[in-house]
Amino acid sequence: MEVEGQVYCFRCGAPAPRGATYCPRCGAPLDVHYVLRPPRPRLTPSLGLALTVLGAALYALGYTLAPLWLVPVLLESSFYLAVFGLGVMASATLWRWLKPWAIEPLFLVGALLTLVEHVAVFTFHVEAPTLLYLFKAGIALMAASTAAWLMARREARLLNIDVVKSRWPFASSLAAATLMSLVFAAGAPSALGVVEALAAAYTVGVAAWLLWHFYAPSVFKAYLGLSSTEEAVMVDRGLTREETGYAFTDILLRASTLALMAFSILVFGAQLFDPQLDLSSMGTLVLLAKYSLAAEVLLGVFGPPAYWLFEALDLRVLDRASATLEKASPIGFLDSMVDLFAALGFLLTIRDVTLSITPPDAAPALYAPLAFFNAILLLYYYASIVLPPALVATALYHKYSFEKQARWLLDEIRPRRLEEAAALLAEPPGASRS
Amino acid sequence: MELLPAIALSSLAVLLAVLDRLLGARPLAKASALVFSLTAAAAALHPSGEAWLPLAATAVILALLYRGEEPWR
């Protein structure tokens, strides 16, 4: 559907009047290139159906046509894909009904499936190999819910639809933390052991949050570190609901950053000290988990919360000595590299785990791909120890600290408006400030 | 961490928080948060099941005390 006199940004899809020079949302130059049609929704039930059918087709292929070495890989990946497709299909239907908030609870359903499998196997000692599929379905559903929710939010933004995107983010985060902790605790010898595992997750979470609640703004100011010739500049009009609001998926992804940060630092450090470290042994994993929990408490305050504050305030630093305006960031030019490095680190970790659980005499083509899927299960098990405290801390921080700290920092720093900064830069050097 | 040091350290954290409330001295609150967080980190490194129970109770008390506060000011 074309609207007369209206064009759409080629980059972010926002509507703009014909003849506009810049996109009103993302600032892309529209005099160079624009599109005439509004962006098409991508999260549709047919996408989910296509993924499910593809999964089923791969499964059939795995049984009939595939060469022997490919069979286990196809069977394994097709199952994940099919359940992921079903999850996307359900999410897309909910999105069609304009209920994107109902997508997030699918994550909890996935976590519940993994818990049911673990309780059946480790608490009640049910011996049914097919139960493992319940666990895998849970993981695929959790991934589908997260991906679909992010797509729905993107589309709501593109199409300018203002709907409730998340309900009960705090309660959902605590529920996810509890369910995942229970997955880890399912093997505990007694009911008291289960309570202790839950107590540990919540204690570590609250301890990390307390440090953020007390110290994150100081860390932010230390990172900002304005010199005498520098001033903070704010590019937009202040904190919007979009920047300070949060959803369960936001909390989940941010908590994962914290857990990944702790994990990456430790694996890196451990491999420096002991290059022969065997990541596949349960002993090493438990050791890493213990150190990760301590790192979440002690190092967390220097990482994620200050970084989230930088993201929300979106400040620039004006250096009058060199007449430059640069994005304020805790790690300067590395800012854009962080996500890339986190993803690379995670992939390398999976590769390490995969290689370490592949027997040295196994034919790599036959065994390594399957070990990759086992590594996913192993990492989920590890996540069930490290992610719950991170979820508790992040949820508490977003409910009680984040917005207040961001507003307080704005009051403290008093950043200049962009127009004022431009006027300052236009002043001849040495002229006194008004 | 054994049960006794866990109880001692979490009591110290609660005591500091209560003193902060009574005297209105912010450094005491900051000290309380530090003591509790260091204790929790130590308990994560040397876990023993029963030590988590007093620590969790302390976590609930401190969270209730400081959730509405702006202690960074």
Segment A228-279, tens digit of pLDDT: 888 888 877 677 776 777 899 999 999 998 888 887 777 777 777 776 766 6
The rounded distance, in Å, linking the Cα atoms of B23 and A43 is 56
Residues of A in contact with B40 (CB under 8 A): 203-204, 206-207, 297
How close B70 comes to chain A (CA, Å)? 8
The rounded distance, in Å, linking the Cα atoms of A361 and A356 is: 12
Average pLDDT over chain A, rounded to whole? 84
Confidence category of residue A331, pLDDT binned at 50, 70, 90 = low
Cβ–Cβ < 8 Å for B29, B66: yes
Using pLDDT thresholds of 50, 70 and 90, give the confidence band for residue A336: low
Distances (CA, A) of A117 to A135, A138, A325: 6, 9, 54
Task: Examine the pLDDT at A169 and tell me if it is beyond 60.
Answer: yes
Q: ipTM greater than 0.90, yes or no?
A: yes
Q: Which residues 6+ apart lie within 8 Å of A186 measured at CB?
A: A115, A118, A119, A121, A122, A123, A194
For A220, the closest chain B residue by CA position comes to B72
Q: Going residue by residue through chain B, which has 73 residues, state the pLDDT in tens, using 9 for 90 and above.
A: 788 999 999 999 999 999 998 988 888 999 999 999 999 999 998 888 788 999 999 999 999 999 988 999 8
In terms of Cα–Cα distance, which of A240, A80, A187 is closest to A144?
A: A80
pLDDT score for B55: 94
Res B37: pLDDT = 95
Q: Do A214 and B44 touch (CB under 8 A)?
A: no
Q: Which amino acid is at A7?
A: V
CB < 8 Å to A217, chain B: 72
Contact A81, A58 (CB under 8 A): yes
Å between B28 CA and nearest CA of chain A: 12
**Is the pLDDT assigned to residue A163 strictly greater than 50?**
yes
Q: Is the predicted pLDDT of residue A333 greater than 50, yes or no? A: no
Angle at A239 between CA A298 and CA A9, to 5 degrees: 110
Quote the pLDDT of residue A434.
43
Confidence of residue A179 (pLDDT cuts 50, 70, 90): very high
| Cβ contacts of B37 on chain A, cutoff 8 Å | 207-208, 210-211, 297-298
Segment A72-102, tens digit of pLDDT:
788 888 999 999 999 999 999 999 998 999 9
Cα separation, A100 vs A146, whole angstroms: 11
Q: Give the mean pLDDT of chain B.
A: 91
Strand ranges (DSSP E) for A313-352? 315-319, 324-327
Q: Residue A170 above 90 pLDDT? A: yes
Per residue in A359-411, pLDDT (tens digit) is 666 666 666 667 777 777 777 888 889 999 999 999 999 999 999 999 999 99
Q: Where are the domains of chain B?
A: 3-66
Nearest beta carbon to residue B62 from set A210, A218, A293: A210
